[in-house]
Structure 1
Amino acid sequence: MPNLVFKRLTIASDTLKSANQYNFKPRFNLITGNDNSIGKSTLAKLLFWTLGGDPSLDFTWQSFDVRALVDFSIGNAAYQVGRYGNTMFLRRPDGDWERFQKITGEYSEVFAEITKFSALLPNRKETTTLESPPPAYYFLPFYVDQQRSWSQTWNSFPNLAQYARWQKTIIQYHTGYLRPEFFSIEEKIAQSTLEKKNAESEVKKIETAIEVVKAYIPTNEKTVALTNSEFDELSAEVCIEISKLQATQEELFRMIAEIQTERIYLQGQLDLAKLASAELEKDYTFSVECVAGETLICPLCGTIHDNSSPNRASILADKDEADNQVETLSAKISRLDKKYIQSQERLTTTRSEIGVINSKYKQDETSSEGEAESKSEMHSFLDGLASRSVQKHVQRTMETKTALIRNINRTNRALRDDQKKLLPKEEREEMDAAFKENLAKYINVLKAQGVNLSPIESSLDYKKLYGSGGAAESTRGILAYYMAVLHQIHTAKNEVFSAVIIDTPNQQEQADFNYEKILQFLMNTIPSDAQLILCAMNRKEIGAYKQSAYVIALDDDKILSRTKYNEFRTMLNFDDSI
């Protein structure tokens, strides 16, 4: 499997009238400066930002009206990706610029195809819809962010919660436990599950229809007791006279059932829309009256949310949309209520006409008492006949849908069995053992034996690494975990192996000896055909790495330069549409 290698980053700010361009070499690279506020982390983040990864950039950069272009290669194929706002531009080898209005959707699918990133995740709102997640999920194991990754692994990018419980799927795909074929089968399961969901919805409607029939026409005991042959014979006797009326009555039963079912659904949507409007009203009031400044930090997860004027305006826009939904749904319910009343009136009229026909089967006043008793049982016969006919029809439909549901369940179980066969238990155990062996080896090299490895069974157990050993030793344990994961990814060959970017490995002020050892460890452990980009302060301990690396030294001008604006700005017009 070929590797993704960053070649060049070109950036410009129309607000500052500044620009710059940075080149990268295929093996070791170093972004350095003499202090921590020089822009090392931002420069590394801009590589991912340009490709749609959306790392945490400060609000200052967001105000610079930045556009950027990344040149990268996968094997011998050269690609370019540009970004301005959330608009993405892609140029494939020997191709023209392709424009995408947003990162999610088509762009994510194309980027996943280029990088062979076949993982799919279910949409939060519609779980039977599988999506190619944005590039951030591809870059997760290849980027160690200074602020997020050293305290929590698999957390290099914010806003990952757009998918529920994504961690297991993404980690297992990266590390080879889930193959691309797994998701081909998963798509079949999702499609059949959607069919099952629709069938279950139909069954609920049918159950409602049966209840409506029972409510409007009680079943005649004698009719129910009839055998099928008796029922058919009696039906034939009155078929000529009531066939049209019976058809009308059945249609009215169906309409009433559908109206009631749809009204229940719309009422549920209306309640949700009213709740959403009320919550958005509270959100806007809170953002205006209770939050100082243009940022809000979530007290639960620590995520920084935008509280700027445009963001608050978007809350009002969402509330307007919710209010519009309330108005629309209320109007639909009102129309249904009118339709329901009209259907009931038609049903009353039809039943009156059927009553006229019923009178034909009543005994004359001069009939004998025994005959009168016998004939009086026919009074409600036609009602029971109509009810029986409707129930037979809907029962056949229900049986068909129920059989479909059972068949889908059997199919899905067979597909799940096929997924399990893609990775036999013996192979999975070998992969677990190899991961633990590499992790233990790296722990020893980094002198982090204080980290307790006993609860670690696979790469999924990353949360169990925290809280053991001292702060500096724990950090080296996390680095050992990252490298063990990268080794597993490189071995699995499930996807294009990306360039690895590690932001400031000198966390928790490692002792000088250990810091040098960490850098040497990285040089020895990163796959020999992979690109490594390190961000580190310019100090003597990085000397050995610096000698082997292509160095980008940032100065007090930081990342952008006014003198280079005219030189590089023209490169960022992309398809001349912006």
Structure 2
Amino acid sequence: MRIFQFESISLLSHRDKKARKVSFHPHRNLIQGENHTGKSSLVKHLFVTLGAKPLGTLEQWDPQTVSAVRFKVDGESFTVIHHSGARSLHDSSGKLLKATDSPAAWAETFAALVGFKLMLTSKKTGQGVLADPSCFFLPFYIDQDGSWREKWDTFPATMQYAAPVRSILEYFSGIKPAEYYELKSEQSAISKEADARVSEMKLLERARGRLSQTLPVGTVKLSEAGFEDEIRRLTSEANELNGLQETLRAKYVREGEVVASINHQIQTAFASLREYAGDQKYLANIANANEIVCPTCGAEHEQSFLHYLGYAEDARILEELTRTLQRDLVTARRQLESTNEELRTLRGNYARINGILEQKRGDLRFQEVVESQGAQAAHRAFDAEREQIAGELADWNAKLAEIEARLDALTDKKRAKRIVAAFREAYQLARKSLNVPDPSGNPNLVSRPNRSGSGGPRLLLAYYAALWKVCHGEQLGMSIPVVIDSPNQQDQDDLNLHVVLGFIAESLPDSMQLIVCVTKHSDAQLDKTTVFDKKYSMLLPEYYDEVESDVEPLYRQMNAALLSLPTDEVKEEKPEADSDE
């Protein structure tokens, strides 16, 4: 069984000079504190750091806070650093394994690390894509902002996929293997290709029918007057293209200037960073670097030149600015290339029309034009196009038949029945333990309950507990931490709250790591309790030096890796030579 466990989380605010580090027991963890003491902020950052942003916002929080989450996968430790959308992955020795500010690239890195192979369909493209970390954690995190409701609102990012919840739950419960979802994604893409060929065939036949009505085979309807009208139309179209070409040229020049300006700013920032590196090296070589003697009064100071002169802080801000400029440079370059592509397409259309006009202005044999436009030639072209589309459609349909056969082989109805039966049995036992009556009908994995009153949250917890029971079974072979924030919903009375906490502490799978946040003291027996007792002050100044010494080297590695992306001076690109007309 593959085991994923949280080891610790560190939060560091350079702006406020505050920090916090919390370590986790591999089994049962309790985070206790009144409202606004930072419990939710802490657990939200567990998921934000790993690429899964929960619903809700953080009040009175430094948005530039650096977070570090240390976790184990099959006993091997890793650390992820997050800052302003950028993430880096490090091994147990601190070695940098990956740094990126691309969500898609991070999703691939995370999926490969934890063995997450679920493929879902993108709403935007209709293509199969690898599910991101929000899908990985969705069944295992009950967030007080989005999870205690009738819908799966924990992670808004899951809305980018088409009907993701059923696939996620069936994947983790083992009803369908990972290969099934990979094939379903491939099937969806192939079906779109086949449908596109069918649509092309229909359009082709419709156009052919109209041609037969207006221009029967053997009869050519083309007059000199009509030919002259076509010349005038093509001339007008060429003039319009000329105007559009001038507009695009001006746009290309402006965008080129933007690219050059951003690149100049990046080079200037790099020059400043090189000067800082030299100053830092010089100061580091001064004897007794941790103590400085004032040359005027002779007073001794404990802090270094770096701390007093603010060099480190200035360099950190400059690094962050440079990363932002690099992202802007990538965007500007893409826009420049897009405009250049438009110019290339425009030039192609211009050349085509100009060629036709040149031909018709020269020595023209009218009979040659009539033959090229004749109905027989048109019907022959329709036949050739139809034959090609029919062949492509046959190939796509053959691939679909092959995939459907493989999907049938992967669908084990007996296994699905066993898992659903185990879910219902666990659901019934959990409801009994939590003092909530049975819901009507036969619940299944996606039958998320919706009940008002104080019994609603307990029924939802029973549903989640049944899910966790089957998801931690032998089918999938994976153990993922469960985080609950907070079970005291709908103002549970002391008796029911005691029942809920006792159930959480004693009835969940033994192999599962648990992190639960509560506002009241509990007698439930858990392995580790962390208490937050200061409102709006989860980060504290007394932790700053310790956390900075742990996090800063990894944070620096991430910045260095992101800053080492190609930043060569951009050569001024010019549009390809146009015709004189």
**TM norm structure 1:** 0.68
Which of 432, 439, 446 does residue 452 from structure 1 map onto?
Answer: 439
Aligned to 2:66: 67
Contact 1:87 1:99 in 2 (8 A): no
Pair 1:62–1:565, CA change in 2 (3 A): same
Secondary structure at the counterpart of residue 506 of structure 2: helix
Distance in 2 of aligned mates of 1:8 and 1:561: 17
Match of 1:564 among 531, 535, 543: 543
Inter-partner Cα distance in structure 1 for 2:470 and 2:440: 17
Aligned pair partner of 1:176 in 174, 177, 185: 174
Structure 1 equivalent of residue 47 of structure 2: 48
Instruction: Say whether 1:533 aligns with 2:480.
Output: no
Q: Which moved more, 1:428-437 or 1:323-332?
A: 323-332
Question: Contact 2:173 / 2:419 at 8 angstroms: preserved in 1?
Answer: no
Give the superposition deviation at 1:490.
0.9
Q: Percent identity?
A: 23
Contact 1:168 1:460 in 2 (8 A): yes
Deviation at 1:178, TM superposition (A): 2.2
* Structure 2 unmatched ranges of 5 or more: 221-229, 245-331, 560-581
The 1:350–1:203 alpha-carbon spacing in structure 2 relative to 1, beyond 3 Å, is farther
Are the equivalent residues in 2 in contact too, given 1:50–1:83 (CA < 8 A)?
A: yes
Specify which of 542, 551, 563 is matched with residue 529 of structure 2.
Answer: 551
> Given that residues 89 and 98 in structure 1 are in contact (C-alpha distance below 8 angstroms), is that contact kept between their aligned partners in structure 2?
yes
**Structure 2 residue aligned with 1:353:** 365
- 1:388–1:526 distance in 2 versus 1, CA, 3 Å: same
Structure 2 vs 1, CA of residues 396 and 334 (structure 1 numbering), >3 Å: closer, same or farther? Answer: closer
Counterpart check, 1:26 vs 2:19? no
1:161–1:61: structure 2 CA closer, same or farther, 3 Å change rule? farther
Structure 1 counterpart of 2:29, one-letter code: N
In structure 2, the CA distance between the partners of 1:103 and 1:344, relative to structure 1 (3 Å rule), is: closer
Matches within 5 A, 1:128-277: 128=127, 130-190=128-188, 192-193=190-191, 195-196=193-194, 199=197, 219-220=217-218
In the superposition, relative to structure 1, how do residues 329 and 97 fare at CA in structure 2: closer, same or farther (>3 Å)? Answer: closer
CA contact (8 A) 2:5 2:481 kept: yes
Distance 1:62 1:402, change over 3 A: farther
The count of corresponding residues between Structure 1 and Structure 2 is: 452
Give the conservation status (yes or no) of the 8 Å contact 1:115–1:495. no
CA distance in 1, matches of 2:475, 2:4: 13
Q: Give 1:216 deviation, angstroms.
A: 10
| 8 Å contact kept, 1:443–1:477 | yes
Q: How does 1:163-562 map to 2 (within 5 A)?
A: 163-190=161-188, 192-193=190-191, 195-196=193-194, 199=197, 219-220=217-218, 341-342=353-354, 345=357, 352-353=364-365, 355=367, 382=371, 387-449=375-437, 451-454=438-441, 456-462=442-448, 465-467=449-451, 471-491=453-473, 493-494=475-476, 496-539=478-521, 542-545=522-525, 548-556=526-534, 558-562=537-541
Instruction: Please give the alpha-carbon distance, in whole angstroms, between the structure 2 residues aligned to 1:334 and 1:28.
Output: 65
Could you say what secondary structure the match of 1:47 adopts? helix
Per-residue displacement from partner, 1:146-195 (whole Å, max 9, x unpaired)? Answer: 12211235322234322232222222222222211113323543554465
Q: CA distance change for structure 1 residues 61 and 182 in 2, over 3 Å: closer, same or farther?
A: farther
SS in 2 for 1:527: coil
SS at match of 2:108: helix
- Structure 1: any 5+ residue segments left out of the alignment? 223-251, 267-319, 359-379
Report the structure number with the largest CA radius of gyration: 1
Residues 348 and 495 of structure 1, relative CA distance in 2, 3 Å threshold: farther
| Aligned 8 A contact 2:119 2:182 in 1 | no
Instruction: Tell me the equivalent position of 1:10.
Output: 10
Matched, 1:576 2:557: yes
- The amino acid of 1:43's aligned partner reads L
Go from structure 1 to structure 2 and tell me whether the alpha carbon gap of 1:165 and 1:61 turns closer, same or farther (over 3 Å shift). farther
What residue identity is the alignment partner of 2:183? I
RMSD after superposition: 4.0
DSSP 3-state at the match of 2:149: coil
Output the CA distance in 1 between the equivalents of 2:189 and 2:97.
30
The residue number in structure 1 matching 2:57 is 58
Shift of 1:436: 1.6
AA paired with 1:447?
N
Cα distance between partner residues in 2 of 1:434 and 1:59? 38
- TM-fit CA distance, 1:82: 1.0
8 Å Cα contact 2:219/2:375 also seen in 1: no
User: Aligned-pair distance for 1:90?
Assistant: 0.6
Task: Answer with 196-205 or 499-508: which moved more.
Answer: 196-205
Tell me: CA distance 1:577–1:143, structure 2 relative to 1, closer, same or farther (3 Å): closer
Measured against aligned partners, the alpha-carbon deviations of 1:417-467 in whole angstroms (never above 9, x if no partner) come to: 321331222322232222222212211121101x5231x4411121xx213
Q: Which AA in structure 1 matches 2:391?
A: A
Rounded to whole Å, the distance in 1 between the matches of 2:504 and 2:363 is 86
Inter-partner Cα distance in structure 2 for 1:336 and 1:528:
67
Distance change in 2, residues 1:577/1:43 (3 Å): closer
Q: Is the 8 Å Cα contact of residues 117 and 494 (structure 1) preserved in structure 2?
A: no
Report the CA distance shift for 1:190/1:495 in structure 2 as closer, same or farther (over 3 A). farther
Question: Deviation of residue 345 (structure 1)?
Answer: 3.8
Aligned residues of 1:121 and 1:132 also touching (Cα < 8 A): yes
Corresponding residue for 2:100?
101
Q: For 2:82, what is the secondary structure of its paired residue?
A: strand
SS in 1 for 2:479: coil
Whether 2:85 is the aligned partner of 1:86: answer yes
Distance 1:171 1:199 in 2: 34
Aligned CA distance change for structure 1 residues 511 and 103 (closer, same or farther; 3 Å): farther
Go from structure 1 to structure 2 and tell me whether the alpha carbon gap of 1:38 and 1:65 turns closer, same or farther (over 3 Å shift).
Answer: same
Question: Secondary structure in 1 aligned to 2:424?
Answer: helix
Going from structure 1 to structure 2, the CA distance change for 1:528 and 1:153 (only over 3 Å counts) comes to: farther
User: Structure 1 residues 460 and 36 mapped into 2: Cα distance closer, same or farther (>3 Å)?
Assistant: same
Relative to structure 1, is the Cα distance of residues 195 and 70 closer, same or farther in structure 2, using a 3 angstrom cutoff?
A: same
CA distance in 2, matches of 1:352, 1:209: 29
CA distance in 2, matches of 1:351, 1:93: 79
Residues 147 and 190 (structure 1 numbering): CA distance in 2 closer, same or farther, change over 3 Å? Answer: closer
1:110 matched to 2:109: yes
Secondary structure of the residue that 1:448 maps to in structure 2?
coil
CA contact (8 A) 2:88 2:558 kept: no
**Partner Cα distance (1:139, 1:537) in 2:** 24
Partner of 1:230: none
Q: In the alignment, what sits opposite 1:363?
A: none
TM-score by length of 2: 0.68
Mapped partners of 1:326, 1:82: distance in 2: 34
**SS at the partner of 1:491?**
coil
Between the aligned partners of 2:93 and 2:21, the Cα distance in structure 1 is: 23
Deviation at 1:393, TM superposition (A): 4.3
Q: Which whole-Å deviations, capped at 9, do the CAs of 1:371-425 have from their partners, x for residues lacking one? A: xxxxxxxxx7x568x6434532442232122122133123213312321331222
